[in-house]
Amino acid sequence: MNLLERLLHKCRRKSPWIFHLNTGSCNGCDIELVTCLSPRYDVEQIGIHLEGSPRHADIICITGPVTRNTLEAVKTVYSQVCEPKAVVAIGSCPASCNVFAGSPVIEGPLSKHIPVDVYVPGCPPHPDAIIAGIARAAQILADRGVPEKKKGELQK
Amino acid sequence: MNLTGMIHLFLFPGMLFAIPAGWFFVWGEHKAVARMQRRIGPPLLQPFYDFVKLTGKSTPSRHGIEADLLRLYPAISVLSLIGAIALLPVIPDGRGFSGDGILMVALLELPSVCFILAGFTSGSIFGEIGAIREAVLSVANNLVFLLAIVSVAVTKGTFSLSELAAPTWNPGHWIGVLGILLCIPAKLRLNPFSSASAEQEIYSGPLTEYAGAALGMWNLAHGLEWVALTGLVTVLVLPVGGPWWPHAILFVAVSFAEVLLLSAISAATARFTLKRSIRFYWEWAAVLAVLAITSSMYMRFRS
């Protein structure tokens, strides 16, 4: 990779802007995600920034088991985030539908509809785990922006 | 353009200085807010990381005249702000021309006009609401801003920036500088006058539909606005004379102190509604501006 590509790789890793999407969550994971922005966890230290518009975001943080009403929103928001992008599924609901599994109004799990990069398990997960998940997603996002033939140089 | 003009536009205080200084001031803003909230805050290079990342992102495909206009607005903002910063008489060498103060005011106003137009062009409902709010706020604060600048100009009897930059003990000058300082939060869309880009109500206002490099340019324009507006206040309060380098260091230090002060105020206050913002500028700040202009006119007629 040349110098510019290396710089872009580093900057993508250092500046993950997230968009939070609730797909019918019980609000438990949402509270834990918002806790990450608080003085105790302060995710701004690693460049994480909660954005209001999906157009500005790099990482979509999805909570909830994907209800029938929110399915279209998930697809729309996923298409509105510009490449390169990554998806973090927060909590047990997007991974397995959790206690809502089998309900006729649940369209989950999330991976049936959009590709998921990182699962953060827990009901709800600890804020530290969420931050670790977003940091992992930022790494995946940065690697995804690298052209396929140059991926081998990343390990160097 | 002669060599000094080129140096001012491209080296100091123009492009080569202004862009890193803009990032530094944006970092100062975020860090000050973080410290006020007992957080640690972003690393020093965060605005630079954000800019490079946004430049490397893809953008949604748009067609037609809107696509070109949406790309043009942030570019105009950045260029006009670099022009405004280059006009600042940081190093007092008697350059400039009569009336460059008027050009400076016009260049400082262009980004706000572009911001409003961007909101309407984007077609997003949040963009339109943000654009209307920005337009109303701009009318509100410009009354005070222009009166304050005119009162500073009246004390010297000129609009030439290099002559305005030499402060005197005339009260009209200092009340005018205070009036300019009061308008900076509204021009930078900081709390308590942040209703145009109120992220909890209308996402990012006119910038909601922006993505990628164009959004990066808007963020850069915000940094440059910091440099231009705090720089304008700084050149009006710093004494002139002496070698150039203590001037340059003092210029950056005083501007950064203003950034910290305004960010601390922004962290400590809640957002005013549009009506209260207008009342603030047209009632309280306007009194100050009228006081500034009458005192400078009085001093002028007395002398």
What pLDDT, on a 0 to 100 scale, did the predictor assign at position A83? 83
* pLDDT of residue B14 exceeding 70: yes
On whether the CB atoms of residues B206 and B127 are closer than 8 A, the answer is yes
At B1, the pLDDT band (50, 70, 90 cuts) reads low
**Is the CB of residue A53 less than 8 Å away from at least one CB of chain B?**
yes
Across B100-115, average pLDDT: 90
**Is the CB of residue A20 less than 8 Å away from at least one CB of chain B?**
no
Provide the sign of the torsion angle of the four alpha carbons A102, A106, A110, A113, taken in this order.
Answer: positive
- Encode pLDDT of B111-151 as tens digits: 999 999 998 998 888 989 999 999 999 999 999 999 999 88
Q: Mean pLDDT of all residues in chain B?
A: 86
Percent of chain A with pLDDT over 90: 43
| Minimum CA–CA partner of B34 in chain A | A39
Beta bridge partners of A32: none
List the single residue in A7, A58, A82 with the smallest CB-CB distance to B52.
A7
> Per-residue pLDDT for chain A (156 aa), expressed as one digit of tens each?
788 888 888 888 899 999 999 998 999 999 999 899 888 998 999 889 888 889 899 999 999 999 999 999 999 999 989 888 999 999 999 998 888 888 899 987 888 899 999 999 998 999 999 999 999 999 998 888 777 667 766 655
Structure tokens given for B205: 């206002």
Distance from C-alpha of B75 to C-alpha of B57, rounded to nearest angstrom: 17
Among A4, A14, A51, pick the best mutation site for testing chain B contact (most B Cβ within 10 A): A14
- Encode pLDDT of B147-180 as tens digits: 999 888 888 888 888 777 777 777 778 888 898 9
List the single residue in A42, A53, A145 with the smallest CB-CB distance to B208.
A53
**Is the CB of residue A12 less than 8 Å away from at least one CB of chain B?**
yes
Contact A45 B41 (CB under 8 A): yes
**Is the CB of residue B194 less than 8 Å away from at least one CB of chain A?**
no
Residue type, A1: M
Contact A8 B199 (CB under 8 A): no
List the single residue in B40, B52, B211 with the smallest CB-CB distance to A45.
B40
Residue A33's Cβ-count burial label (10 Å; 0-12, 13-18, 19+) is buried
* Closest-CA distance of chain B to residue A43, Å: 8
Chain B (117-136) residues lying within 8 Å, Cβ to Cβ, of chain A: 126
Percent of chain B with pLDDT over 90: 34
Across B244-264, average pLDDT: 88
Query: Residue B147: helix, strand or coil by DSSP?
Result: helix
**Is the CB of residue B49 less than 8 Å away from at least one CB of chain A?**
yes
Distance from C-alpha of A109 to C-alpha of B56, rounded to nearest angstrom: 32
Residue type, A119: Y
**Is the CB of residue A155 less than 8 Å away from at least one CB of chain B?**
no
Query: Residue B299: helix, strand or coil by DSSP?
Result: helix
Structure tokens given for B186: 């509204």
Across B18-32, average pLDDT: 92
- Encode pLDDT of A8-52 as tens digits: 888 888 999 999 999 989 999 999 998 998 889 989 998 898 888
Strand runs labelled E in B96-174: none
Reply yes or no on domain A3-151 having CATH 3.40.50.1370.
Answer: no
- Residue A27 region by backbone torsions, left for phi larger than 0, else alpha for psi between -120 and 50, else beta: left
Distance from C-alpha of B299 to C-alpha of B303, rounded to nearest angstrom: 6
Strand runs labelled E in chain B: none
Distance from C-alpha of B99 to C-alpha of B297, rounded to nearest angstrom: 19
What pLDDT, on a 0 to 100 scale, did the predictor assign at position A98? 86
